[in-house]
Amino acid sequence: MEQQPRTPQNGGEHPAANSYGTDDPSDQTRIEGARTAASAERRRNRAELERLVELGLSPDAAETVIEYERAHADQRATRAAPDQRVGQELLPYQAPRIYVSDLAAAEAGRLHGRWIDAAAPLPEIQEEIVALLAASPVPNADRFVIDDHRGFLGYEPNEHTPIAIIAKIANNIEQFGAAYAAFLSVIDTNDLDLLDRFSDLYIGSFATREEWARSVGRDLGWQEQLDRVVDPLLRPHLTIDYRAFGESHHEGWDVVEGSDGKIHVFMR
């Protein structure tokens, strides 16, 4: 996803432009191929960067190691890879964040990017992106790409997701947790107004669908209604199948299983 950062000077987006810099189809094909290869290389380098950081290196030191090893591949010593699953389990909870790469540097074969706190105020995120591009090893870098993300609890920003939407979603996930991430699956996440309606539409979170169904029954007084309309001789033998109600779909509610294993319920 190529994006233009908002600059402190005018706060506006750069106008759309031909990102290839040429109208020649053969040149565009060659450039697109180079971009695809650069994207794959960024992903490999980023995985190695995270591995080295988990082993205790600073990000700058890790990047130096990666560049050295890439330049001296024939001299690279064989290293045993750590158990990634164990490493991930030991990592503490991390707030929503995005990995922003300098696209011009990537196309030049250079690794230049950083993790950014996605729940920070939007101007701060934009300032970090501007600073990233200002420190680019490639002159006049003005394009960036969102390569990766962490901590969004099941929500998947795509290559077209604007920074403003990512920031709002990340901030709400920090505030409301997995219930908000579940909410995102039932709304249009491109609608900034809908993103702020969580509190209006959220009914509650439950361990199971049956537990939710029983809460509906209590709120609507189903047992009391049966007491009023059913013959007293029959009433002790009449029960409500809450499990069946909870497993079926009904107009008026969106029932979503969240990344935390709970059932999150919203009004439609």
Residue of 172, 164, 170 lying closest to 190 (CA atoms): 164
Q: Identify the pLDDT of residue 73.
A: 47
Q: Annotate the chain with three-state secondary structure.
A: CEECCCCCCCCCCCCCCCCCCCCCHHHHHHHHHHHHHHHHHHHHHHHHHHHHHHCCCCHHHHHHHHHHHHHCHHHCCCCCCCCHHHHHHHCCCCCCEEEEEEHHHHHCCCCCEEEEECCCCHHHHHHHHHHHHHCCCCCCCCCEEEEEEECCCCCCCCCCCCHHHHHHHHHHHHHHCHHHHHHHHHCCCCCHHHHCCHHHHEEEEECCHHHHHHHHHHHHCHHHHHHHHCCCCCHHHCCCCHHHHHHCCCCCEEEEECCCCCEEEEEC
CB atoms within 10 A of CB 212: 23
Residue of 112, 110, 218, 124 lying closest to 170 (CA atoms): 124
Q: Identify the pLDDT of residue 38.
A: 67
Identify any residues that bridge with 264 across adjacent strands, giving them in sequence order: 205, 256
Find where tokens 């870098």 sit.
Answer: 141
Per-residue pLDDT of the chain (268 residues; tens, 9 = 90+): 556 554 444 444 444 445 555 677 776 677 666 667 667 777 777 777 777 666 656 666 666 656 655 544 443 333 333 333 333 333 445 689 999 999 999 999 888 999 999 999 999 999 999 999 999 999 999 999 898 999 999 999 876 789 999 999 999 999 999 999 999 999 999 898 999 999 999 999 999 988 988 888 888 888 888 888 888 888 888 888 888 888 876 677 899 999 999 999 998 8
Q: Identify the pLDDT of residue 220.
A: 84
Whole-prediction pTM value?
0.62
